[in-house]
Amino acid sequence: MAEAVVDTVTSVPVAVVGAGPAGLMLAHLLGRAGVATVVVDTRTRHEIETTQRAGILEAGAARDLVETGVSDRVLHEGHEHEGIELRFGGRPHRIDFKELVGASAWLYPQTDVFTDLANARDRDGGTVLFGVKDTEVLDITTAAPRVRVTASDGTRHEIRARYVVGADGSRSTCRDLVPEDRRVRYGKEYPFAWFGIMAEAPTSAPELVYAHSEHGFALISRRTETVQRMYFQCGPDESAAAWTDDRIWETLQARVAGRDGFRLREGRILERTVLRFRSFVQEPMRWGSLVLAGDAAHTVPPTGARGLNLALHDVKVLAGVLLRALGGAGDGALDDYQPRALQRVWRAQNFSSWMTRLLHTAPGDDAFDLRRQLGELDNVAGSRAGRTYLAEQYTGWPTGA
């Protein structure tokens, strides 16, 4: 069948599907080395900017934003956190990252990371097409793959590339292009979800609070001095609209309550969503001229805030191998990508599912399960080795490991 006529044809070394942090950071890193990209996304810039995501950056990822010239806003508007609080048995237990492993984490929302990266693309003259439709990725088993899209103004565009990167998130369609009989998908569903709120209220605690209680998990995070981000465990089919503000606050207060009298400072609820999550990995991360990065290849539950960090790590490794491949080393250079990215992916998969199980109550859990969980929490918080284990995983691993 003849292909539809397009209005423009552009040739670049790398076409990127997905303008989230992975796609835009990759475009930025390649752009710095003189390699042009075209990035396309079905979402508008406004949609991406206003979709709440997690908020923790590893110190290394924060440093990369500054040192690679994206922006230094994270240093002014982000907050460096030297630890977290685990609350269980009605008591606070501090995990002091700085003292245990000499590391910290930055509270800097993913939406801000996205804005910084999108502004950097504008500033540096990079092409990003937001709000496209009818995305087609073609000829990935050849050395001349193409991406075709309809732009928001209805015009049709073809991008011819040497490589296509699928950075199109947890509902990736690029990953479906790896033939079914050549791919493996690993995954786990969880019998619960997070009820997330944004509240206009003062900060309740100086650091993030991860709370275990007999009623289930809660997480107290923040966005600014006056806007707080909080989550509590709920059923996967819960409807956010069915909850009154009072019931939301009662639930959160019950989950953080303790002998120390700790209470959350309440306020108007500005936004509420039920977030379902799962653990997922697809292998291989490369098929012919198509390479997958970030959530397209792997997703983790949000409990350890690894997702964004993993995506940024993928593209750091990927930018290096793509530059070598394009610089004359050819496809062989790409063979390094999957092993270097995946080692960290599986470490993060383990940590995220471990921390999820450590803190959530599964339907059907009985008194034994609850007490066993408290025993495990004591093992973690009650010894330096246990605290160090958590601190090491939460603050991230060295690049390529």
Residues of this chain that interact with ligand PHB (CB under 6 A) are 54-56, 208, 219, 221, 229, 302-305
Rounded to the nearest whole angstrom, what is the least distance from the CB of residue 289 to ligand PHB in the complex? 35
Which lies closer to ligand PHB via its Cβ, residue 77 or residue 139? 77
Torsion of CA 209, 346, 145, 318, to 10 degrees: 70
Q: What is the distance between the alpha carbons of residues 345 and 313, in angstroms, rounded to a whole number?
A: 9
For residue 110, give the nearest of 28, 171, 50 by alpha carbon: 50
Q: Which helix (H) or strand (E) holds 270?
A: strand 268-275
Rounded to the nearest whole angstrom, what is the least distance from the CB of residue 292 to ligand PHB in the complex? 23
| Chain Cα centroid distance, residue 304 | 10
Rounded to the nearest whole angstrom, what is the least distance from the CB of residue 230 to ligand PHB in the complex? 9
Burial of 363 (0-12, 13-18, 19+ CB in 10 A): exposed
Which lies closer to ligand PHB via its Cβ, residue 145 or residue 304? 304
Q: What is the distance between the alpha carbons of residues 272 and 264, in angstroms, rounded to a whole number?
A: 17
Rounded to the nearest whole angstrom, what is the least distance from the CB of residue 281 to ligand PHB in the complex? 19
Which lies closer to ligand PHB via its Cβ, residue 53 or residue 148? 53
Rounded to the nearest whole angstrom, what is the least distance from the CB of residue 80 to ligand PHB in the complex? 14
Which lies closer to ligand PHB via its Cβ, residue 69 or residue 267? 267
Q: What angle do CA 328, 329, 333 make, to 5 degrees?
A: 145
Rounded to the nearest whole angstrom, what is the least distance from the CB of residue 307 to ligand PHB in the complex? 9
Rounded to the nearest whole angstrom, what is the least distance from the CB of residue 283 to ligand PHB in the complex? 25
Which lies closer to ligand PHB via its Cβ, residue 56 or residue 62? 56
Q: What is the distance between the alpha carbons of residues 215 and 80, in angstroms, rounded to a whole number?
A: 30
Which lies closer to ligand PHB via its Cβ, residue 115 or residue 127? 115
Rg over alpha carbons for the chain, rounded to the nearest Å, is 22
Half-sphere CA count of 295, side-chain side, radius 13 A: 23
Rounded to the nearest whole angstrom, what is the least distance from the CB of residue 282 to ligand PHB in the complex? 23
CB 364, CB 70: distance < 8 Å = no
Which lies closer to ligand PHB via its Cβ, residue 231 or residue 262? 231
Q: What is the distance between the alpha carbons of residues 213 and 365, in angstroms, rounded to a whole number?
A: 13
Rounded to the nearest whole angstrom, what is the least distance from the CB of residue 57 to ligand PHB in the complex? 10
CB 144, CB 62: distance < 8 Å = no
- Amino acid identity of residue 53, one-letter, is R
- Amino acid identity of residue 358, one-letter, is L
Residues paired with residue 230 on neighbouring β-strands, in sequence order: 197, 220
Please, where are the H alpha helices in 222-295? 245-256
Please, where are the H alpha helices in 35-109? 45-49, 59-67, 73-77, 97-101
Which lies closer to ligand PHB via its Cβ, residue 100 or residue 305? 305
Rounded to the nearest whole angstrom, what is the least distance from the CB of residue 278 to ligand PHB in the complex? 15
Which lies closer to ligand PHB via its Cβ, residue 287 or residue 394? 394
Rounded to the nearest whole angstrom, what is the least distance from the CB of residue 79 to ligand PHB in the complex? 11
Residue with tokens 């966005």: 223
Which lies closer to ligand PHB via its Cβ, residue 208 or residue 297? 208
Q: What is the distance between the alpha carbons of residues 148 and 156, in angstroms, rounded to a whole number?
A: 7
Q: Which two tokens stand for residue 122?
A: 């504008």
Distances (CA, A) of 268 to 49, 68, 228, 263: 22, 39, 10, 16
Which lies closer to ligand PHB via its Cβ, residue 212 or residue 229? 229
